[in-house]
Structure 1
């Protein structure tokens, strides 16, 4: 009679610094975070003999807690790593946001981890070896069961990241690297199960196969499932989606973001002629919301959290007038004082006459009359720095047309958001609003022909003329499908995070007036 066993894979991904179940902008409770996920993870680890626990990337950055740690408590151990160590993670995969605070911060996190960081396609430029040492993990269990986990990271990172944060790294194509290493592992390790943990997602609809995004190579999960043999499970992330599916016989999992869910894959094996064979694969996403917080995780993170909360509540300045947001779409259709303020800070910081920025998400509430650090970090949610680049008038027009595609008209002729900016992942951060130029967006025109009356200092923008524009480092690298910015000459840059620049502006000026100058408009 054949014996049967089940191996459970637990996956977290895109945790983004969330330990406590709160929204830092409001301190309201939220059904998320590693403190709740820990209770679920420990329970499953204790109830099963065969468990692999993995983080799929983007774990050390994303909340005021991680930001405050990096800025003010760096001599202490990294709180995110302390929690993963306590939960006895088997491995973590390098995510793109791991580099946001700079390579020394990430290297310190890696050094303090009691588990390997996997990424087969991030190589050391000096010798071509995997930069973080280990491309894959082998875990063997007492009954001879052998599992392999290969880690890979979206190679699109140089399009977003500050070049200083990724010096010495070579980003190889995920698909080609995965193909090479899957073959190597199958031949040299002969595992009973091969898992690919990919900090990346899917470029095609999982049911129809239709492309869902431009073929930039940022996400290659669909192609991996169909064109690489030998993969049993593909763990994914990066897109912040909630997915469990079988794609061409490969079990795929993507557990959302902010530790709202733990991904769970159960792989059933039977012994056949002395060899373990997979006879079943199922996956589910386990919501953490109803779980109690793990007391030890709270204890680990408490000193970091206490100091973060004190820092967040410090008043740093005042608003004269109204800079709050009640309707995010309205704040994108007509100029809003918050957006104008951010653009003005960017222009002031680098001494540039033209700027662009986005309202990153729909949870931004704007700034109240008395401004604290909490207000700033809840509105400006990314650790961006500033870059000024030299672009042509043609580049400017193309970038504005890309932004103008954010809008559509519904059947009643009302303005709505183009689904391309909201599905499968909200991308409101890819609609930019500009200061220092004049322009009109006419939504009745076809996409690509919507920008009218484009002027700088009272004169039409010349398509061949050069203009200096300040923007965040993500956009300056071409991120968000803005290829017209990529590789343009950098004229100035700042290594100070935008949240600090905004705070510093208040500390210098004390009071800021909420105002707009109506340099652009949307018409229909």
Structure 2
């Protein structure tokens, strides 16, 4: 009997040390450094037993943390320190995630060139129809066993990224790409692994859709059509914690920020046929920080922390977020401020933004770069759309879908937008218009009042609104918005726009005008 042990990290998002950067000297239950310790333990145990170990980095590592932002925007040597960390893991292959594109193609290509493992992205093609970032697949031979690994990423990136960033790139459906790759590769290898920076669009047991079938996540369909030739599937993107068999195939997805390491165990007989398989995920909360990773990242981490603590402005009044849900249903000064900044930057009279997660704390009396980056966590740029009143109302109806009334009569974030992955970033709050959401009414009929400059918004009139670029191209399932409605763009990211606004307005008032109401 022979064993193959597949170990996976995914969606690390640049959280090298156990902190979310909201304050100094934290020890939170995640991090790349803790994942490294756990992976080392699992590797050592397996190798002592003579097992084959395959390590996969599954994408979304370049963006997400304040450190990742600093490396991309401020560090003299750019991505070098983060690459040194990932290169220390001994990965056999790596993938790209959708957030790898956030800082532009040049930055992404720097990562691809510096890592000491091949990058697999078989469904991202150039004008000649060839994979752009690396080989179509990798075949690794260990102990006489040929192991084929194919890497895919979500095809949905064109719905999120600026067209200039992905010019001349084609993102195929992974199911379509699999048709050209998997059957032939299966004939050449003993074991076939698929690594996918994407997740599941259907319930893992029933196959019932759990989201709109847009193509963003295609793992279930992939297994439905090609499960017979796939021996193991490692996934990501949704930040879920999955370790089970789906349609007979062992599957893992190890959360995010390094809070879990995924593991698939395959047992082979003497004929190199798989006789048994297991799927597990290992929590890293109690793992120690890897001393090697700490040494590799220590200097740039200290540099980042000092940069984060630079003062940027002051608040008169209270702009702290104590209850994220309350900040979504009753206008909050922080949200109003972000909308004001977007309006000033673009000269648009209507603005929409979101409270991206439940870790945002708003601004203290002293605003620092730390508070800017830990509240506004994405490197979004802005786009101004020319839309009809009907489009605007449809967008508000879409945002209203994210709320519902529970059995106790309380307004909650709809569970269907929390599980399997929280989508707080898709609930927008607007400034420059007055509107009322009535949650007692049916979805699609909840906007009972909508006015602009003191008059009702007519369905056929044209309005200019500013939103982030992700939303402007329809991201978050907002089909009423699209790239052809963009009339101008601001290519400076929001972190820099917020900093520039505070430079011009060093003291800001915490104000709200209560321009929206939510009825229950």
TM-score normalised according to structure 2 size: 0.97
SS in structure 2 at match of 1:481: coil
Partner of 1:79: 81
1:319, CA displacement in angstroms? Answer: 0.4
Superposed CA offset, 1:360-386 (max 9, x none): 111111101110011111111111111
State the alpha-carbon separation in 2 of the partners of residues 329 and 86 from structure 1: 40
Note the 1:237-248 alignment, pairs <5 A. 237-248=236-247
Task: Show the counterpart of 2:484.
Answer: 488
**Mapped contact 1:151–1:198 kept (Cα < 8 A):** yes
Within-5 A mapping of 1:389-404: 389-404=385-400
Q: Deviations over 1:462-501 (max 9, x none)?
A: 2111111110111111111101102332111112111111
Q: Residue 130 of structure 2 corresponds to which residue in structure 1?
A: 129
Q: What are the superposed Cα offsets for residues 202-241 of structure 1, whole Å, 9 maximum, x if unpaired?
A: 0111111111001101111111111113001111100000
Aligned to 2:506: 510
Aligned-partner Cα distance in 2 for 1:139–1:339:
51
Q: Determine if contact 1:259/1:288 at 8 Å carries over to the other structure.
A: yes
**How far apart are 1:77 and its partner, in Å?**
4.7
For the pair 1:333 / 2:329, whether they are aligned, the reply is: yes
For this pair of structures, how many residues does the alignment match? 514
Contact between 1:23 and 1:29, CA under 8 Å: does it hold in 2? no
* 3-state SS of paired residue (2:164): helix
Question: What's the secondary structure of 2:265's corresponding residue?
Answer: strand
Aligned partners of 1:391 and 1:488 also within 8 Å: no
Measured against aligned partners, the alpha-carbon deviations of 1:183-210 in whole angstroms (never above 9, x if no partner) come to 12123xx211101100100011111111
Task: Provide the secondary structure at the position in 2 that maps to 1:92.
Answer: strand
> 5 Å matches for 1:146-225?
146-187=146-187, 190-225=188-223
Q: How does 1:244-393 map to 2 (within 5 A)?
A: 244-272=243-271, 276-393=272-389
Instruction: Say yes or no: does 1:452 pair with 2:451.
Output: no
1:23 CA drift (Å):
2.0
Distance 1:506 1:482 in 2: 31
* 8 Å Cα contact 1:408-1:443 kept in structure 2: yes
Runs of 4+ displaced beyond 6 Å: none
Shift, 1:79, TM fit: 2.5
1:309-328 CA distance string (max 9 Å, x none): 00011111000111111111
Q: Does structure 2 conserve the Cα–Cα contact (< 8 Å) formed by 1:152 and 1:178? A: no
**Aligned mate of 1:92, from 94, 106, 119:** 94
| C-alpha distance in structure 1 between counterparts of 2:21 and 2:237, whole Å | 22
Q: Residue 413 of structure 2 aligns with which residue? A: 417
Q: Relative to structure 1, is the Cα distance of residues 466 and 186 closer, same or farther in structure 2, using a 3 angstrom cutoff?
A: same
C-alpha contact 2:71 2:79 (8 A) present in aligned 1: no
Match of 1:427 in 2: 423
C-alpha distance after superposition, 1:74-114 (max 9, x if no partner): 53553222112111111111100000010000100110011
User: 5+ unaligned residues in a row in structure 1: which ranges?
Assistant: none
Is the deviation greater in 277-286 or in 67-76? 67-76
Match of 2:230, SS? coil
Tell me the distance in 1 between the aligned counterparts of 2:246 and 2:407. 36
What displacement does 1:44 show?
Answer: 2.7
Whole-angstrom CA distance in 2 between matches of 1:201 and 1:182: 19
Q: Distance in 1 between matches of 2:205 and 2:213?
A: 18
Q: Describe the superposition over 1:46-74 as per-residue Cα deviations: whole angstroms up to 9, x where unpaired.
A: 33141111011101111111111111115
Unaligned runs of 5+ in 2: none
Report the Cα distance in structure 1 between the residues aligned to 2:296 and 2:420, rounded to whole angstroms: 35
Alpha-carbon distance between aligned partners in 1 of 2:514 and 2:287, rounded to the nearest angstrom: 49
Go from structure 1 to structure 2 and tell me whether the alpha carbon gap of 1:41 and 1:412 turns closer, same or farther (over 3 Å shift): closer
Residue pair 2:72, 2:79 contacting (<8 A) in 1 also: no
The whole-number CA distance in structure 2 between the counterparts of 1:355 and 1:121 is: 36
| Kept after mapping to 1: 8 A contact 2:175/2:222 | yes
What SS is found at the alignment partner of 2:221? helix
Query: Aligned residue for 1:104?
Result: 106
Distance 2:307 2:39 in 1: 31
Q: Counterpart of 1:133 in 2: which secondary structure?
A: coil
* Cα separation, 2, equivalents of 1:355 and 1:517: 14
| In structure 1, C-alpha distance between the alignment counterparts of 2:406 and 2:37, rounded to whole Å | 45
Which residue of 14, 17, 35 corresponds with 2:11? 14
Deviations 1:151-194 (A, max 9, x none): 0010000111122221221111111112321012123xx21110
